[in-house]
Amino acid sequence: MDGSIAINLMHFARALRTAGLPVGPGKLLQAVEAVEAVGIASRADFYWALHAVFVNRRDQREVFDQAFHVFWRNPDILKRMMGLMLPTVRTEAQEDRNAMSRRVADALRGTAPEAEGPEKTEIEVDAAFTVSAQERLQEKDFEKMSAAEMADAKHMLARIALPVAEAATRRYRTDPRGERVDPRATLRRMLRSGGDLADLARRKRRTRPPPLVVLCDISGSMTRYSRMLLHFMHALSNDRDRVHSFVFGTRLTNITRHLRHKDVDVALDAISAAVEDWSGGTRIGTALHAFNRTWARRVLGQGAVVLLITDGLDRDAGEGLAAEAERLHKSCRRLVWLNPLLRWEGFAPRSSGIRALLPHVDDFRPVHNLNSLAGLADALNREGPRRAHGLRKWLDQAK
């Protein structure tokens, strides 16, 4: 293969990675082999060869298609993408439709050489009256982030810690101020002293963080959030032990083993190969039934905390969902529902799926930006009654 083609493939793979696709060195080598096999005489063969290598899920097709036509010089789409860089006034709906295009434009903009021009005059601004870029990023919705902002957010997600208050176990440890007498240790102490009883040995229960179980919705309505939430789940799996992760759309898939890879790109590639129902419909009741029947007894011991991440929009209109949610709620120490729809001020629990879930959760929180994930740690460490005080408002609206 011509060296210039290989170099261009490397830059193209780098642009796809910047745009949010899980592309690593292995994918690049596969792309080179694919192009060597099909050649470059036919643009269609060239397109589909790269498509077969870089695209693993349905939601990646549009990003790849835009990046391919822009990078490999389609004038019409290039003009459209350049238009995204101009300052225009857009509605929120238009921003949502062009979210992928902005990411591709940002990714490809970074590969273009900067035009030489006059030096810019440095302007000093009083930082006391400005909001830092990091604070803005923490408050920005995942759905509205550019490719560069998503990359920064992923680095911040990797550093998020989620401490959970330790729970008492059935095992004991020696403690001079323990609340219970340790008969065996007391007898051993008496034998060493010739039968004299100086003082009683005491013990107390051991404590350790409870298991954490994450059930994440990857259906079409959660597409823009599931990618970032998988990075969050990877950070949790590598930060602590006893983390069990599952994803669901129309079926339930255990991805715990895949998330144990230290490299997040390797982990996401393995998940993409294992999961078959990306960006499809949602059957929450069916997924919870499969979890309760197959996995609950294995992973919900010792006071496990369950994080249910879904928007509650169910294809089956909540059929069987209430019973499965009730069973899950009774099997765990705490059930926390994270819903990205709570970012809207006018949100109301109107869908049947949301109404079926609400009575059986202990907390109902948003999950749409970095601040919402950081606030989750405070919620999990909250002392007091099992159910959060703010849940009553939503329960009243769901009646």
pTM over 0.75: no
Other residues' Cβ atoms within 10 Å of the Cβ of residue 399: 8
The three-state secondary structure class of 307 is: strand
CA dist 337 and 325 (Å) reads 11
What's the distance, CA 342 to chain centroid?
A: 17
pLDDT grade for 175, boundaries at 50, 70 and 90: confident
Euclidean distance between CA atoms 64 and 61, whole angstroms? 5
- Half-sphere exposure of residue 361: CA atoms within 13 angstroms, side-chain side: 25
Which of 272, 228, 278 lies closest to 250, judged by CA?
278
Residue 176 gets the label, from left (phi > 0), alpha (psi -120 to 50) or beta, of alpha
Specify whether the CB–CB gap between 368 and 142 falls below 8 A: yes
Q: Which amino acid is at 278?
A: W
- From the list 31, 29, 81, 71, the residue with the least C-alpha distance to 51 is 31
Neighbours of 234 (CB within 10 A): 27
d(CA 235, CA 272): 18
Residue-wise pLDDT tens digits, 82-105: 444 333 334 444 444 455 555 555
In DSSP terms, 214 is beta-bridged to: 245, 307
Q: Which residues contact 89 (CB under 8 A, 6 or more apart)?
A: none
pLDDT computed for residue 109 by the predictor: 55
Structure tokens at 41: 């005489």
The residue written with tokens 């403690």 in the block is 175
CA torsion through residues 6, 10, 16, 19, sign = negative
What is the model's pLDDT at position 118?
Answer: 45
- pLDDT value, residue 132: 65
Least confident of 96-110, 204-218, 242-256, 359-373: 96-110
Pick 397 or 228 by higher pLDDT.
228
pLDDT digits (tens, 9 = 90+) for 278-333: 878 889 999 999 999 999 999 998 888 999 999 988 888 778 899 999 999 999 98
Give the rounded percent of residues in the chain with a pLDDT score beyond 90: 18
Q: What pLDDT was estimated at residue 209? A: 82
Q: How far apart are CA 216 and CA 307, in angstroms?
A: 8
Tokens 């129309």 identify what position? 250
User: What is the torsional sign of CA 128, 133, 134, 137?
Assistant: positive
DSSP result, 231-294: HHHHHHHHHSSSEEEEEESSSEEE-TTGGG-SSHHHHHHHHHHH---TTS---HHHHHHHHHHH
Which residue do the tokens 């590598």 mark? 238
Using an 8 Å Cβ cutoff, are 296 and 328 in contact?
yes
